[in-house]
Amino acid sequence: MKKKVAVVFGGRSVEHEVSVITGLQVIENIDKEKYDVIPIYINKEGKWLTGDALLDFENFKNDNLKGLKEIILTSIYNDNKIYLHPEKIGLFSKKLIDNIDVVFPALHGTNGEDGTLQGVFELLNIPYVGGSVLGSAVGMDKIMMKSVFKAYELPMVDYIWFFRRKWDENKEEIIKEAEEKLGYPVFVKPANLGSSIGISKATDREKLKEAVEIAIRYDRKIIIEKGVENPREINCAVLGYDDKIKTSVCEEPVGWQDLLSYEDKYIKSNSKSGKGDRRIIPADLKDNIKEEIESLAKKAFMAVDGRGVARIDFLVDKDENIYVNEINTLPGSISYYLWEPAGITFKDLINELIEIAMEVHREKNKNMYSYDVDLFKQIDIKKKSIKS
């Protein structure tokens, strides 16, 4: 019997549009012989919607999303299913739209990639693809991510960070700290965002001020990173769960040094291989550099309790020093193109991700969630103490 997979996409995020693209790519490439797909679209107002109109990308292009039903989710904890109900029930309307066996989140950025959505599915006790609440949250917050990587002694560029409030109160203090500790050039980023949105390169004091003013529009926490001179960017994906993990081939994005824009990432970078394209796959690396990157990718993945798939981005300087730049958990990066050289198609990758989700869910349900002790009889609420 086919399992029912809900692909959730859209969301209240500046990365809404790319999330729609990711969701429809997953729906297009999922194994239809193994799974029935239920599309769930979260619009920019935060409404959860489903309907066949979501399956056609042209409807998004033409703003022609008609006949969609607004839904709410419920579950029976031991049933391991989610039930979709109409948000508003009329006298003759169906009380149940469908049920779901597993969820494939495809929401980029805020409220989707940061552990928020994952927490919903944890509470519903439903299998879901990709990182845990913890792994997603740490992977999304660049400051927390770097703190974890530092604890695991992973190599990183120097950085400072601060709250938006501090910038408003004392810009000069932050600028002085950045200049003394990092110098120029630097990259300024919102702590919680992806797709290059809000990120700028600064080569002097005035550009640094401009870069921070852009970044603080998107987050209350800002990070400033030391720029590496003429670096190569090398990316490597990791797939698996716990210590059963493997690495993909490495890629080298071409022409990124001045910072890839949102358009560069999602429109211009469709080329998949060969020199002169937007990506070189596999990257031309010495064996020792390739092996070190693969090892660091696995360590970074395990450091955030990774599961499913994630892409880890590296910088390699002219002296061949390697720095971990960041980890992009699913759905920030499905990275199917990094697995294709190993014979793993997009369809195969989706299958494996769903299988990992089911395995993680089985493992979770081995945990004990009750502890039999007659605590109520030991507590006097009025005295706010436990009888010894």
195, 200, 248, 333: the active-site residue? 195
Task: Categorise residue 54: left if φ over 0, alpha if ψ from -120 to 50, beta otherwise.
Answer: alpha
From 19, 132, 136, 335, active-site residue: 335
What residues form the annotated binding site for ATP? 142, 187-189, 195-196, 225-233, 325-326
Tokens of 84: 């979709």
- 3-state SS assignment for residue 60: helix
Output the known binding site for Mg(2+): 313, 326, 328
Answer yes or no: 13 catalytic: no
- Helices 133-140, 116-124: crossing angle, 10 deg rounding: 180
> 205-215 and 171-181 helices cross at what angle (nearest 10)?
120
Phi, psi (deg, nearest 5) at residue 344: -95, 105
Bond prior to 39 in cis (omega within 30° of 0): no
User: Which stretches does DSSP call E strand in the chain?
Assistant: 3-10, 35-42, 48-50, 69-76, 81-86, 98-100, 102-105, 159-163, 186-190, 200-202, 221-226, 232-241, 244-253, 279-280, 307-316, 322-329, 379-380, 385-386
Q: Which of 15, 251, 294, 340 is catalytic?
A: 15
Catalytic residue list: 15, 195, 335
